[in-house]
């Protein structure tokens, strides 16, 4: 696989702007973090509905109340998991209100969407597990409810997770472009075993060095472990989203980022990696 320099430059320029926005949102304060991932959460739902409409023709028959109920429940769960970070009483009450409103809308919408069929109803509901749960657990990590003495700086946990994914994706692309020969999966022909393994190794190495330099030798071990989990599960998340796009017959889930596609394209790795890293932190705490 030869390097496409035009594509690489476009991806790089877009990525620079994207990284600035992401870092500002994640590190400015608790509110900016929540607003950033609330927007991403909503964007993922919109694109997920569009993909499902292409995969299942009957999906278009799902009532708007059903789709709204899914969004509200997912967003309400994010509020609930992040309530310890923003201790304002109104924040927690808003989460409860969204969960209640979403549940009512979902039940009503289900009754109005029976002609869509069980497959379409189930496909929509799976979105709650696919990305609403992932973003809620990411917010839970940021809230600091679960942490260890080694990883006590809670604001760095989501950044570490996303950074490991970015490093893995970038290095897998670069390594695969130069020496990649063996396709990783028919689902994503451009991915190679050489690039995938190279990306994981470099991500783990950078994670270990960063943890050792900024924390301690033990911190280096934990950073390396998180980088490994994020890289492996993130790659699987990428393949999962590629499978959805292939079923829908589209190249990208959306077009909000030139050279990178849509929200699901950009955060597909995070969707699968976040729950596994959350489990690791929970077991370590």
Tens digit of each residue's pLDDT (9 = 90 or more) over 113-164: 999 999 999 999 999 999 999 999 999 999 888 766 656 656 788 999 999 9
Do residues 73 and 21 make contact, with C-beta atoms less than 8 angstroms apart? no
Return the pLDDT at 241: 95
Return the pLDDT at 110: 97
- pLDDT tops 50 at residue 35: yes
Do residues 268 and 237 make contact, with C-beta atoms less than 8 angstroms apart? yes
Beta bridge partners of 185: 188
Nearest of 78, 99, 89 to residue 34 by alpha carbon = 78
Residue 142 per-residue DSSP state: H
Average pLDDT, the chain: 90
- Could you tell me the pTM of the whole model? 0.91
pLDDT tens-digit profile of 159-201? 999 999 999 998 998 899 889 889 888 888 888 999 999 999 9
- The number of residues in the chain equals 285
Return the pLDDT at 145: 80
What secondary structure does DSSP assign to 225-262, as a single string? HHHHHHHHHHHHHHHHHHHHHHHHT-S-S--SBTTTBS
Residue 261 per-residue DSSP state: B
Mean pLDDT of 243-265: 85
In this prediction, residue 8 has a pLDDT band, given cuts at 50, 70 and 90, of: low
Mean pLDDT of 225-237: 96
Tokens, residue 46 = 């919109």
Return the pLDDT at 267: 94
What residues contact residue 114 under an 8 Å CB cut-off, 6+ apart? none
Return the pLDDT at 12: 74
Distance of CA 119 to the CA centre of its chain: 24
Mean pLDDT of 252-264: 79
pLDDT tens-digit profile of 48-76? 999 999 999 999 999 999 999 999 999 99
Return the pLDDT at 130: 95
d(CA 218, CA 138): 23
- pLDDT tops 80 at residue 285: no
């Amino acid at each position: 696989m030869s390097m496409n320099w035009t594509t690489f430059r476009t991806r790089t320029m877009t990525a620079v702007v994207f990284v600035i926005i992401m870092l500002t949102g994640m590190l400015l304060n608790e509110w900016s973090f929540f607003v950033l991932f609330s927007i991403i959460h909503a964007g993922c739902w919109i694109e997920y509905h569009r993909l499902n409409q292409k995969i299942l023709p009957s999906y278009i028959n799902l009532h708007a109340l059903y789709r709204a109920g899914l969004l509200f429940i997912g967003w309400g769960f994010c509020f609930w998991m992040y309530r310890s970070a923003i201790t304002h009483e109104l924040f927690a009450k808003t989460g409860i209100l969204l969960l209640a409103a979403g549940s009512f809308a979902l039940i009503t919408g289900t009754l109005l969407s029976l002609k869509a069929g069980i497959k379409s109803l189930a496909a929509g509901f799976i979105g709650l597990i696919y990305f609403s749960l992932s973003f809620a657990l990411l917010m839970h990590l940021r809230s600091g409810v679960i942490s260890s003495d080694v990883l006590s700086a809670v604001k760095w946990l989501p950044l570490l997770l996303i950074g490991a994914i970015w490093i893995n994706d970038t290095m897998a692309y670069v390594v695969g472009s130069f020496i990649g020969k063996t396709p990783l999966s028919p689902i994503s022909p451009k991915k190679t075993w050489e690039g995938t393994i190279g990306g994981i190794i470099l991500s783990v190495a950078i994670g270990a060095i960063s943890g050792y330099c900024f924390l301690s030798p033990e911190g280096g071990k934990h950073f390396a472990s998180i980088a490994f989990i994020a890289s492996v599960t993130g790659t699987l998340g990428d393949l999962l989203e590629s499978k959805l796009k292939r079923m829908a017959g589209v190249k990208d889930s959306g077009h909000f980022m030139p050279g990178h596609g849509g929200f699901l394209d950009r955060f597909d790795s995070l969707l699968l990696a976040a729950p596994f890293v959350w489990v690791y932190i929970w077991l370590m705490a």
